[in-house]
Amino acid sequence: MSLCARSDRYFRITDCLPWRLSMHAITDQKVRVRFAPSPTGYLHIGGARTALYNWLFAKQHNGTFILRIEDTDAERSTDESIQAILDGLRWLGLDWDEGPTFQSANRPHHLEAARRLLESGHAYKCFCTQEDLKRKRLEAEKEKKSYGYDRTCRGLSPEEIASREEQGLPYVLRFKVPDPSLDDGPEGLAGESVAFEDLVYGRVEKRLQDIEDFVIVRSDGLPLYLLSNAVDDMRDGITHVIRGQDGLGNTPRQILIYRALGSPLPSFAHMNLTLDPKRAKISKRRHGEVVTVDFYRKRGFLPWALCNFLLLLGWSTEDNREIVTREEAIREFTLARAGRANSVFDYRKGDPKFFTDPKAIAINAEYIRTMDIEELAGLVRPELEEAGLWDPAYAAERRDWYIHTLDLIRARYHTLKDFAVLGRPYFSEDFEIEPKALSKNLQKDTRLKDWLPELADRLEAVDPFTLESTEAAVRAFAEEREVKAGLIINAVRAAVTGQLAGPGLFEILVTLGRASTAARLRRTALLL
């Protein structure tokens, strides 16, 4: 219990409850976690969240975060799809300490482990054909009975096995799940059930009779995931397996493997799944780009804003803050506070305003309008460059102007892309007049066609060109024409930015400067 008395920054009380000590004193060891995606051609947000939780846990405990690519499905594993995962993680800022390692490279170890299981009597050769098994399964399904391997080959005598091997019959290796009723399980696996204490879900127990003798090596000699994954985790000295809840059902079988191999158990923590609005598992095939990390990069998300959003999909701070910095997340993250119920990724298909979960956008927008302006300046630069709006002077003599302009417009922008699209009039003379701005603010009063150039003349004479002086000039102009200042102000905004909405007009004018303001007013008047 001494460990638990010590709730220092390395180990939270919740991470070292008494049962943990009875399993293995893993809290004594340095934390080692891993993210083990299979390369599917992209990193999706569910995977990113798994990576994030592992990363946070490692960082908090000063541990090691390992990246392992589970590339044993040859068809899906291409260089490109592996690269996509690395790129996604790098962009998110989830740096790994070891790897990437590849599951395929560890195949000799997987087979060695299988050999040991066979020799120690924890596994046996099964000669049943896939056709037979499939037939039996279909039959069971038809009779609405449970289907599991019927253990036909479990009782084969050494002679029978030898004879079949002589005939050259192919076989798979199956794990011999201890059968309490037969009491024929090998030593060390006794008991009616296998139970473990999940760091998120609590005690999870599964009866041995409900676990079938699962295959660990295929007939072509290739090891299967359940075995490979466990063996890799043993080799990598993984102390905490933090993965999606879809791995919860695999855990009892993997624990059986650990025990049969005489290896200490890691702690397990399963995370709730992220579902779509119809409560189905998310996948690129069904949902498209919106579930990929790359989509958010391309749409101008800040990496940490995405992480922040993902973090909250199943976890909360003690005081319920929604904006959590990277440092705070590392400090405050606890598996004990992770939610157990699945959460819904609330994106709406074809919604022009909310191209993804509104909360994700809100969080991104929050960061954009509150983050350090210098940092934002650095992030917006590539966006402007890409759009051909970047002026090298923004990094030199016009730097102050650049910063000030960003600060002026950022409050109404949601993504980095907005600076290059909605922000275009602030960085270029070449911009469109939005139809609505034209009809609502410029064409409503036909006199504006004459007034705009007159106002241009007037403003050109204003010196100095300041917030106060421009406002005085515009308001005086409106008064002389006996119209409300708002009419002129809104018309001018539409004329110089092409937009209906934007910062306070005089801020805009000063930012654009005298010459540009006058030129834009005259140019727009020609369109009326």
Partner RNA sequence: GGUCCCAUCGUCCAGCGGUCUAGGAUACUGGCCUCUCACGCCAGAGACGCGGGUUCGAUCCCCGCUGGGACCGCCA
Site for RNA in 121-150 (CB under 7 A): 128-130, 133, 137, 141, 144-149
**Long-range contacts from 467-474, C-beta under 8 angstroms, 24+ separation:** 467/506, 467/507, 467/510, 470/506, 470/509, 470/510, 471/506, 474/505, 474/506
Residue 155 binds RNA, judged by CB under 7 A: no
Measured distance CA(390)–CA(396) in Å, rounded: 12
Based on the residue annotation, tell me whether 359 is a catalytic residue of this protein: no
Q: Of 426-455, which residues contact RNA (CB under 7 A)?
A: none
Cβ of residue 379: shortest distance to RNA, in angstroms? 18
Separation of first and last alpha carbons in the chain: 82
Which residue has tokens 């598992």? 281
**Residue 31 Cα distances to 63, 262, 478, angstroms:** 4, 20, 70
Among 70, 236, 383, 418, binds RNA (CB under 7 A): 70
Between 281 and 284, whose beta carbon lies closer to RNA? Answer: 281
DSSP state of 412: G
Q: Of 99 and 391, which CB lies nearer to RNA in the complex structure?
A: 99
| Residue count, binding to RNA (CB under 7 A) | 90
Q: Does 165 bind RNA (CB under 7 A)?
A: no
Cis peptide before 158 (omega within 30 of 0): no
Q: State which of positions 367-426 bind RNA (CB under 7 A).
A: 369, 411-412
Residue with Cβ nearer RNA (63 or 502)? 502
Please give the residues from 9 up to 68 whose contact with RNA meets the rule CB under 7 A: 38
Question: How far apart are CB 13 and RNA at their closest, in Å?
Answer: 10
| Active-site option among 284, 359, 440, 449 | 284
Binders of RNA in range 261-280 (CB under 7 A)? 272-273, 275, 277, 279-280
CB 441 within 8 A of CB 494: yes
For residues 481 and 492, give the distance between their C-alpha atoms in angstroms, rounded to a whole number. 15
Q: Taking CB under 7 A as the criterion, which residues in 292-331 touch RNA? A: 312-316, 320, 322
Q: Residue 240, Cβ neighbours under 10 Å: how many?
A: 22
How near is the Cβ of 349 to RNA at its closest, in Å? 14
Give CA–CA dist 173/168, Å, rounded: 15
Longest dimension (CA), the chain: 111
Pick the closer one to RNA by CB: 287 or 493: 493
Which residue of 18, 249, 382, 388 would you call a contact of RNA, by CB under 7 A?
249
Task: Return the number of the residue (120 or 334) whose C-beta is nearest RNA.
Answer: 334
- Tell me the window of 159-167, 296-304, 335-343, 376-384 that interacts with RNA (CB under 7 A): 335-343
How far apart are alpha carbons 302 and 370 in whole angstroms? 13
- The minimum distance between CB 93 and RNA, in angstroms, equals 21
Interface mask (CB under 7 A) for RNA, residues 76-105, using x and -?
A: ---------------------------x--
Name the residue among 383, 349, 173 with its Cα closest to residue 277. 349
Residue 410's CB: how many other CB atoms inside 10 A? 20
Q: Which residues pair with 32 in a beta bridge?
A: 64
Contact 63, 33 (CB under 8 A): yes
User: Which range binds RNA by CB under 7 A, 50-58, 336-344, 374-382, 442-450?
Assistant: 336-344
- CA 270/CA 341 separation, integer angstroms: 11
Closest by CA position to 282, among listed 356, 229, 231: 356
Q: Which is nearer to RNA, 391 or 407 (CB)?
A: 407
Nearer CB in complex with RNA: 128/387:
128
Residue 343: CB minimum distance to RNA, A: 3
Which residues within the stretch 454-493 sit at the binding site for RNA (CB under 7 A)?
Answer: 485-486, 489-490, 493
Taking the complex as a whole, the smallest distance from the CB of residue 260 to RNA amounts, in Å, to: 18
- Cα(374)–Cα(377) distance, integer angstroms: 5
Establish if 342 lies at the interface with RNA (CB under 7 A).
yes
Beta carbon of residue 365, minimum distance to RNA (angstroms, whole number): 7
Give the residue with the Cβ less far from RNA, 296 or 315.
Answer: 315
What is the set of active-site residues? 284
